[in-house]
Amino acid sequence: MREPFQDLPNYPELIASCRKAAGLSQMELAERANVRPAIIELWENPSYEGIDLSILQRVARATGTTLNLGFGPQAAPLALAAAEDLLEVNIGAAPTAEPAGRPEAEPTPRPARRKRRTRSRAWDALLNRKAA
């Protein structure tokens, strides 16, 4: 089932190895992660593809480990060098940090009041004629 995304980690295997490295059973991990034991079994099932970041964070907290995520470049070396040059330019133009203390909040503009629609005498006269 993972054929289109071969470069993705095998999350169910990572969860199981993290649990085993912490010396926990599925039942103990379920208690620490505040889920039912069947959920841990589901997370460790190789065919399950519903693992997201919140699950990985929960497993990391329950096992006392750190979750590290990262991105790597997929661009050609020449394009990467150009991106690094651009990054250096943007860093130089970065705004300075605000001074210590609480920044003054700008007053929020009040929404414009809607005009109350009133009927004119001519309109009332027209309505009265049609009603009669």
pLDDT digits (tens, 9 = 90+) for 45-83: 999 989 999 999 999 999 999 988 877 776 555 555 555
* pLDDT tens digits, one per residue of 100-129: 555 566 777 777 776 666 667 777 777 777
What pLDDT, on the 0 to 100 scale, is given for residue 42?
Answer: 95
User: How far is the C-alpha of 52 from the C-alpha of 60, rounded, in Å?
Assistant: 13
Residue 94 pLDDT class (50, 70, 90 cuts): very low
Residue 92 in this model has a pLDDT that exceeds 50: no
CATH for 3-63 (3.20.20.140, 1.10.260.40, 1.10.3720.10, 1.10.630.10): 1.10.260.40
DSSP 26: H
User: How far is the C-alpha of 10 from the C-alpha of 38, rounded, in Å?
Assistant: 19
Overall pTM > 0.85: no
Q: Which position has the token pair 């001519």?
A: 122
Kindly report the average pLDDT of the chain as a whole number: 76
- Cβ contact 83:75 at 8 Å: yes
